[in-house]
Structure 1
Amino acid sequence: MFDLELMSILLPALAAGILVLSTHIVLGKQVLKRGIIFIDLAIAQVAALGAIVAHMDHRLEEMPFSHVLMPALFALAGAGFIAWLSKRMAGELEAMIGCFYVLSAVAAMLLLANDPHGAELLKQLMSGQILWVSWSQLVLPTVVYVLVLAVIFVRPQILNGAGFYLLFALVITLSVELVGVYLVFSTLILPALALNKYQGKNGLFYAYLVGLMGYLLGLVLSATMDLPSGAAIVATLAISALVFRLGLSKAARVSHTQS
């Protein structure tokens, strides 16, 4: 049963999911186009590393907006490094990004090795706590995402240059704070994969639909069956993407047979 208390939890969580989808669908398409699938994991992990560094130093942790500023600085530095690699090691870029991700993950584990709350913080950064997002937490991401989408709308060519890495780092930093590393990766890649072979009209709309169905079903399952929210949404996003991709393939075969 959906009572008022449950709806008060689900609505801000769904709003957070829609916010993340608003930018990640567009950026995920560009990630597939560039063939740098692991960049989202790498930048998200580096942003998480920044949050861990802020957590380890009480002076940093007490600074205003340190939970956003430190991850943002780390993410921007990581994005700059990957942009530099893309010009000098283009043939090995994906491998280098994978190594960058692993090293960032290892650094996070080493920093938290002796922290009594380290395991819980790491779990929170990886899986996220979308069900416990409050409306106030959505204000800053909304402003930044609207600005990012406005820049892309006015200058779509920015996605083809180095500016892509800057926008990507800003978006990923806030997304990790809202939904965690695993959902950041899934939201970027799964809807984009579902529509990767689609050549018809309204591809962007269908990608948003895939993502929205995944988030909606995952949140409902998580809330009603007491499942981890991040894991549930990743699973339903994958199912939504698979169903849509199979449906497109079947429709294409039917169309080809009829013609």
Structure 2
Amino acid sequence: MIDILLVPIVLVIILVMLHSYFGMEILKRGIIFTDLAIAQFAALGSSISLGYFHEEHFYLLTLSFALFSAFLIAFASTRKLHLEAFIGILYVLGASGIMMVLSHSAEGMEHFKSLLASDILFTPPMEVAKSAVIYAFIAIALYFIYPKLSGFLKELLFFSLLAITVTSSVSLAGVFVVFVLLIAPPFVALSLNFKKPLLGSFIFGWFFSISAITISYFYDLPTGYSVVFLGAFLTALVVLAASKKALEN
């Protein structure tokens, strides 16, 4: 059992740490669906690779589409428009594009399901190691380069690094898993007013993701969807319990 669970647990520990940071920044900006939009464009790139190129140029297409959406969001953030609405349009554009590309593929729906939430229980250790190296470089860029920039360049670097992160994460875990790991941990940490919200995000994210992996193993449930369900369920409960009643007019 330990041999099977060790790799996915190491994977979610890494994913939670980097994604919680990005999620905290996204919540501060008030653009919640940014990661979903970028993830959908990354998934669109991988779908095009599957549908038209027999999975050739997989990473290149996935990353290119993710970076393109990141550039659009970074540019839009410097304009006077309803940014959340624009990001929502990008999301449905990517989602509809995926369905159109995969509509004539015999393996289309299976690929679509794995794009939403992969069975991370059987993730190859080498893939986890490759992603860990990528995430390490992203963390270095966020720590040393990002604070020194300003304006459009700062936004472009942030969303580009998010796009690279999402590209690796979607291929490993799926769109829904990426979203819940990005938003749920910081959402809970901020709602509970932790003195160290990022550390609180790590703890909550590790708790529900490792619990979901263990439950999915013993009850033969799809691992990715188990992580999404438990993370979303616990987040909804905690946030509602911690919230105050809205003032009546």
TM-score (norm 1): 0.86
- Unpaired runs of 5+ residues, structure 2, are 245-249
- Which of structures 1 and 2 has the bigger CA Rg? 1
Match for 1:152 among 139, 142, 155? 142
Identity over aligned residues, as a percent? 32
How many residue pairs match? The answer is: 240
Which residue number corresponds to residue 224 of structure 1?
218
Alignment partners' CA distance in 1, 2:96 and 2:237: 35
Given that 2:73 and 2:87 are in contact with CA atoms closer than 8 Å, whether structure 1 keeps it comes out as yes
Letter in 1 for 2:4: I
Cα deviation for residue 244 of structure 1 reads 5.3
User: Secondary structure, in 3 states, of the residue corresponding to 1:24?
Assistant: helix
Cα deviation for residue 67 of structure 1 reads 2.8
TM-score (norm 2): 0.89
Given that 2:177 and 2:224 are in contact with CA atoms closer than 8 Å, whether structure 1 keeps it comes out as yes
Cα RMSD for the two superposed structures: 2.1
Alignment partners' CA distance in 1, 2:201 and 2:144: 21
Which residue number corresponds to residue 173 of structure 1?
167
Give 1:12-27 correspondences, 5 Å limit: 12-27=7-22
Given that 1:51 and 1:67 are in contact with CA atoms closer than 8 Å, whether structure 2 keeps it comes out as yes
Cα deviation for residue 168 of structure 1 reads 0.6
Which residue number corresponds to residue 71 of structure 1?
62
Given that 1:45 and 1:105 are in contact with CA atoms closer than 8 Å, whether structure 2 keeps it comes out as yes
Given that 1:214 and 1:238 are in contact with CA atoms closer than 8 Å, whether structure 2 keeps it comes out as no
Cα deviation for residue 195 of structure 1 reads 1.4
Letter in 1 for 2:113: K
Which runs of 4 or more aligned residues in structure 1 lie more than 6 Å from their structure 2 counterparts after TM superposition?
none
Deviations 1:158-192 (A, max 9, x none): 59633111111000000001110000000000011
Cα deviation for residue 199 of structure 1 reads 4.3
Give 1:1-259 correspondences, 5 Å limit: 6-58=1-53, 61-62=55-56, 66-88=57-79, 90-155=80-145, 157=147, 161-242=155-236, 245=239, 249=242
User: Secondary structure, in 3 states, of the residue corresponding to 2:105?
Assistant: coil
Which residue number corresponds to residue 247 of structure 2?
none
- Unpaired runs of 5+ residues, structure 1, are 1-5, 253-259
Given that 1:44 and 1:176 are in contact with CA atoms closer than 8 Å, whether structure 2 keeps it comes out as yes
Alignment partners' CA distance in 2, 1:236 and 1:34: 26
Given that 1:195 and 1:245 are in contact with CA atoms closer than 8 Å, whether structure 2 keeps it comes out as no
Alignment partners' CA distance in 1, 2:52 and 2:101: 11
Letter in 2 for 1:91: L
